[in-house]
Amino acid sequence: MIKMLHSVWAWVILAAVLIGFINALVGLMTGKPFINKDKTLSLLGLITGHVQLLFGLGVYFVSAGYHAMKTEGMGHVMKDSAMRNQVVEHPLTMIIAIILITIGFSKHKTKSTPSAKFKTIVIFYGIALLLILAKIPWGDWI
């Protein structure tokens, strides 16, 4: 059940971060003022990311890869590329992406100009989006 929620919610976070990124990019390129709608769209990426992190932690601790790591050891996991991705690469990359989204959202609040606010979101959400897209297990997911 938790794995299904994690898989379904992945579409939600992907859409939310993409929308927040595109909105900020358009705002930066057009020079429009940073209004409450812009903050809300960025906040959706932040909230969905943290919810996905909770689902992901639930999946992680019941996964076969985690069980193998506990029983066989980390050396065994690191020798198997699929298991290494499941236990190390995917979770670590996604946690870094969530951290970047969190930093980007927090830092934009300290900026004084709309351009600086949009630029901060574009940079941090953009890098997070690239990381998310790079480590989604597309073969298992679609």
Q: What is the pTM of this model?
A: 0.91
pLDDT in tens, 29-41: 999 999 999 999 9
Sign of CA dihedral 100, 139, 13, 42: positive
Furthest-apart CA pair in the chain: how many Å?
A: 56
CA distance 129 to 104: 12
- Ramachandran angles phi, psi of 84, nearest 5°: -60, -40
pLDDT of 10 > 80? The answer is yes
Contacts of residue 126, defined as CB under 8 A and 6 or more positions apart, other chains included, come to 21, 25
Read off the tokens for 93: 């990359």
pLDDT in tens, 12-57: 999 999 999 999 999 999 999 999 999 999 999 999 999 999 999 9
**Domain assignments of the chain as residue spans, ordered by start:** 2-141
How sure is the predictor about 63, in pLDDT bands with cuts at 50, 70 and 90? confident
